[in-house]
Amino acid sequence: MSQLVQRTFCETQASRLQADGIPPLLARIYAARGVTDAAQLRLGLDALASPQQVGSGLKGLHEAAQILGEAIVSRQKILVVGDFDCDGATSTALCMEALLAMGAQEPCYLVPNRFEYGYGLTPEIVELARDLRPQVLMTVDNGISSIEGVRAARSAGMRVVVTDHHLPGHMLPEADAIVNPNQPGCPFPWKNSAGVAVAFYVMTAVRNYLRQQGYFSDARPEPRLASLLDLLALGTVADVVPLDDNNRILVTQGLARIRSGKARPGIRALLEVAGRPEDQVMASDMGFAVGPRLNAAGRLADMSLGIRCLLARDMAQARAMAQELDSLNRERRSIEAVMQAEATNVLVDDDLLARRWGLCLYNDQWHQGVIGILAGRVKEQCHRPVIAFARVADDEIKGSARSIQGLHMRDALDAVAAKHPGLLAKFGGHAMAAGLSLRLIDLPVFADAFDAQVRSMLRPEDLQQVLETDGPLAADELSVETAMLLRAAGPWGQGFPEPLFEGVFDIVDFRVLKEKHLKLSLRHPAGPMLDAIHFGCVPRLGVPSGKRLRAAYVPEINEFGGRRTVQLRLSHWECMD
């Protein structure tokens, strides 16, 4: 059962924000998220990190810009090697659009198929790249751990530019240039940048280099890279990087471009097939509607389909590919449902496994493209660090890990690898998510070692899920006006969470929808009746058995029959009697 804890905030900071014209409710919400000055809420492009700040702070940027700029001027072929998730797809599409706009000679891209080649720039991918005969190879959203792949590319005569945002290992690849805000010695302050943002900074620097060389003219005008902001918003939200000040600006500007009808056909078609109104798009639509449909290509087939959709020039092409992606996403959901049921049954039947602090789950029938989602679902259900494994060869399994607050997943895997040399074939990732591979025969040893490592890094209270709320809302605040205020105050997301409130309500009525959603009529203690819904909670929580409940909720706008009313979207409830 989740524990509701009210977020703390500094009254002085909230008062300062109110003095700057921020409404009282938003002032305390912002203060609870670390906003100390109204300037942090300026989300225009003028508040974005300037080219000078980026250029002086992002290590390796000048070298990368020069290599790519020289390749454009001398009409050398540039190959972009991407990753098979949404961040990688948007990074690849962004670079292709920017390079073409700057006059690059037939740039091309290559995305590893996860089932044949695995993640990153491997020697096998370099062999495929050689057939395309590039002089310059640029990685996006990968490459920082590709020691052998970079070496193979340079041995094949390619100049290599690595752009990435993942945490590096103990060694860096011997690339001609590395741009990664998380590499050692990089002073760039925006460490939470997604791969697509790093790629954007590199493309901006290439444009600056070409400008300094006098490359642009009336016949070859300088491109406006603001047209790439929709890709930046999608990749940043979908990769669940923390929405720090800089990322919030990128997402805000990208969403504004989409709402104004200036999005590229691929994003418009994906919103259309997901049933999300283009002019009302929010960050959550990028994370829960567009992103999963793009990711479905990389999980079940080939991310090239997703990239082609993003690069489509007209709506007819984009719609056809968006329909394919939507079909793949429905297939992914079906596969995921079966895997989740199997995982739940294992946890119910295996008492020893259920008592572990770090969970390792394996089934030789599980789909390797879906284990990351499965690990996330089980983590949400059990509030434990989880690694789900799938077989990739007779003697090899691949794991996808998801963590909880308080445990840095990559550090945990690093510690296991140090204590058990040779146990892990490879691993990498972030604090909250990581990937790894090992021999199937070694899984029992690894499962014990992982559980022991998690126990050494967490406390028992860390295993109690805590939902942080922004406290209660008064009866007169449960209104359409409040819901609209909160909606406009975003973007909300990782590291800058959507406002969540709590309260006790009388249950007037409820019913179950589609065997999993709970629809309720609630009464506030001060009198107003409210509609509420909790998506997908019935299999986990059942239905209310008392007359009152304590709930964590978000007030939203419900438009039906030409009327606007407020509806509470619940994320947790528990009966009071």
Q: What is the pLDDT of residues 450-476, one digit of tens each?
A: 999 999 999 999 999 899 999 999 999
Residue 444 in contact with residue 389, Cβ under 8 Å?
no
Count CB neighbours of 127 within 10 A: 12
Among residues 463, 488, 522, the one where a domain terminates is 463
- Distance, in Å, from the CA atom of 537 to the CA atom of 520, rounded to the nearest integer, reads 12
Whether 383 maps to a domain, the answer reads yes
State whether the Cα torsion 59-60-66-68 is positive or negative: negative
Tell me the pLDDT tens digit for each residue of 274-310.
999 999 999 999 999 999 999 999 999 889 999 999 9
What value does the mean pLDDT of the chain take? 94
Residue 434 in contact with residue 401, Cβ under 8 Å?
yes
In this structure, the answer to whether residues 179 and 197 fall within a common structural domain is yes
- Distance, in Å, from the CA atom of 385 to the CA atom of 351, rounded to the nearest integer, reads 17
| Total domains in the fold of the chain | 3
Tell me the pLDDT tens digit for each residue of 35-63.
999 999 999 988 887 766 776 789 999 99
Residue 459: domain span: 350-463
What pLDDT score was predicted for residue 447? 97
Tell me the pLDDT tens digit for each residue of 9-43.
999 999 999 999 999 999 999 999 999 999 999 99
Residue 309 in contact with residue 320, Cβ under 8 Å?
no
In this structure, the answer to whether residues 547 and 431 fall within a common structural domain is no
What pLDDT score was predicted for residue 385? 97
Looking at residue 431, which CATH number applies to its domain?
A: 3.10.310.30
H/E stretch holding 469: strand 466-469
Tell me the pLDDT tens digit for each residue of 329-381.
999 999 999 999 999 999 999 988 989 999 999 999 999 999 999 999 999 98
Among residues 419, 434, 463, the one where a domain terminates is 463
In this structure, the answer to whether residues 410 and 483 fall within a common structural domain is no
In this structure, the answer to whether residues 361 and 450 fall within a common structural domain is yes
In this structure, the answer to whether residues 481 and 549 fall within a common structural domain is yes
Measured between its terminal Cα atoms, the distance across the chain in Å is 16
Whether 536 maps to a domain, the answer reads yes
Helix axes 291-300, 304-311, angle to 10 degrees: 140
In this structure, the answer to whether residues 111 and 146 fall within a common structural domain is yes
In this structure, the answer to whether residues 477 and 409 fall within a common structural domain is no
Question: Does 231 have pLDDT greater than 70?
Answer: yes
Among residues 202, 223, 244, the one where a domain terminates is 223
What pLDDT score was predicted for residue 397? 97
Task: Tokens for 287, please give them.
Answer: 């994370």
